[in-house]
Amino acid sequence: MELLYILIPLIAGIGLSTQSAINGTLGNKIGSLESAFLTFFTGAIILTLIVNFFGQGNILGIVDAPAVQLLAAIFGVIFLSIMPFVAPVIGVTNAMIMVIIGQLLASVAIDHFGLFSSEVIPLDIQKVIGILLLIGAVYFIFKKPGTKEVA
């Protein structure tokens, strides 16, 4: 069961990169914002069907949810609206590595300080080393082949 909890985010990451590449090329044809809109529109239709047939919660409970929890949707909009602009310009790898670093930095802060009512998971030296290595990897990922120049 633990393996499943590792594989599901891995599959989600594969999906994000694939979606970014497809939305980037679609954005070149129909417009970046239009590509993001199509993603949200299609997703809303699919999720409406899923919620109607399989939902177990109370969608009307949204009116009682704290405002900060409603901000989660805005962060999704930001991600999906930005990627069609940047992926075709800097490449999916470069775009996604910056997303991963942003996610990692935010995640460490959320875990360490227990933000948004999450469990406190303190920052330790192993995590600091891992973060520094990932940030250091950015140099090699952005480095132009055969030069000392960084893209």
**pLDDT for 52-62, tens place per residue?**
999 988 888 88
Lowest mean pLDDT among 55-59, 83-87, 111-115, 140-144: 140-144
Instruction: Give domain status of residue 120, yes or no.
Output: yes
Tell me the pTM. Answer: 0.74
Residue 150 lies in a domain: no
Q: What is the pLDDT confidence band of residue 151, given thresholds at 50, 70 and 90?
A: low
Whether 9 shows a pLDDT value over 90: the answer reads: no
Residue 143's beta-bridge partner residues?
150
Query: In the structure encoding, which two tokens stand for residue 84, read together?
Result: 């069609």
Domain that holds residue 103: 2-142
Q: Coil, strand, or helix at residue 120?
A: coil
Asked if residue 148 is part of any domain, the answer here is no
Give the pLDDT of residue 91. Answer: 87
How big is the chain by its Cα radius of gyration, in Å? 18
Whether the Cβ atoms of residue 22 and residue 36 lie closer than 8 Å to each other: no
Domain count, the chain: 1
pLDDT of residue 41: 94
In a domain, 147, yes or no: no
For the chain, what is the mean pLDDT? 88
Specify if 151 maps to a domain. no
